[in-house]
Chains A and B, each alone.
Chain A
């Protein structure tokens, strides 16, 4: 797999130092430190409500941290920093797809917004990579939860970003689809990509583990 974002180099690293975040007067997490290098996966483990999703949203720039610093390739990140946004793909709890459009229409729009090739062949490849029918014109609302999740995950291979931020990516997938996605994740890492994955179950590819207590 070739990454569309700037190619990974030794200094392309996501670095967090002393990250803290509060919500509603409650400290969700604090003192988060890590360095993530090309080819590495950081898994974030923790019970429900321990702050896994909040951490991913902080890393993606959707939430500002209370304290601490985030840097990307040695440069401190500002909120909604274009340097990071050009390199990040995010699949959150919600799939981020329009229920009234077909899977292919959703991916074509994601490609256009991501500034990557939106040709039918590429969109079809991305859908096939998650075991979806590229010719289906059925709107997403007619698909099962697992199929919708697969459409959201197909976005990852289409955008080919360097850093994947994934929130429980395999939660609604059947065993075969889960394995297919994990193979895709492994391929991404071998190509020099990075991933931060919030999960309940430990991932074999993980180079680092962060346990949130909540």
Chain B
């Protein structure tokens, strides 16, 4: 089972490299969205600093949505998904592996870029790194919840919009705790409550979402 997990992650990473235009597009969206706000809001450092965690988190959430809509689409179209469903491995493990690969190619680059982009908001190094830490715990949850939505909307006309309608409300707690952690750090308060709640969201999503994604994929293939 571990071999199959690693095989899928490696396979999806290789595919992401071959289709790197798609990966880069959501990354560019994140950079552009984060860079537009300081231009629109003006150069007031205090205001930018206060708004930074919320803006960066919302931009990360929307950038994730862009790539999530493609998570199973190609495999569905070329029949690869049928082959995965017919493999002797548990579908939940397959779903988790695909979600893991999605996070590595979409969530991880975002959190690596965040400290750099946070400089536009005059965010000091400490809160900026904490913002990255909150993204490190939170973005896997976005991928896990998004995978359920991507599987549910597979083959549905207007699936990308439906995916956003389904997934964005479910991601609200992650957004609140993630942005709240960085805001608390900037205000010199304890970040433990927000990070603990984010961790709880991750644990719950790790347990439930692969099962829900697997069930949704089976429904989508019928």
Contact = CB atoms under 8 A, between A and B. Distances in A.
Contacts of A60: 86
Interface stretch (A92-100, A119-127, A169-177, A195-203): A92-100
B218 A80 contact: yes
Interface of B: 3-4, 7-8, 11, 14-15, 18-19, 74-75, 77-80, 82-89, 91, 218, 221-222
B108 to A, nearest CB: 21
The 9 lowest CB-CB distance pairs between A and B, nearest first, are A94-B79, A96-B79, A112-B7, A100-B18, A96-B83, A85-B88, A113-B87, A86-B88, A109-B11
Best-buried of A80, A110, A139 by chain B (most CB within 10 Å): A80
Interface residues of A, number: 30
Contacts, number: 73
A96 B15 contact: no
A178 interface: no
B4 A113 contact: yes
A94 B14 contact: no
Interface of A: 60-64, 79-80, 82, 85-86, 88, 90, 92-101, 105, 109-110, 112-115, 139
30 contacts: A60-B86, A61-B86, A62-B82, A62-B85, A62-B222, A64-B222, A79-B218, A82-B88, A85-B86, A85-B87, A85-B88, A86-B88, A92-B82, A93-B79, A95-B79, A96-B83, A97-B78, A98-B11, A98-B74, A98-B78, A98-B80, A99-B78, A100-B18, A101-B14, A109-B7, A110-B83, A113-B87, A113-B89, A114-B88, A115-B88
Given A85-B86, A114-B88, A62 B14 contact: no
B79 A92 contact: yes
A56 to B, nearest CB: 11
A95 to B, nearest CB: 6
B19 A62 contact: no
A90 B83 contact: yes
Q: Which of B8, B15, B83 has the most CB of A within 10 A?
A: B83
A141 B80 CA distance: 14
B82 A100 contact: no
A88 B86 contact: yes
B83 A105 contact: no
Contacts of A99: 78
B12 to A, nearest CB: 10
A136 to B, nearest CB: 16
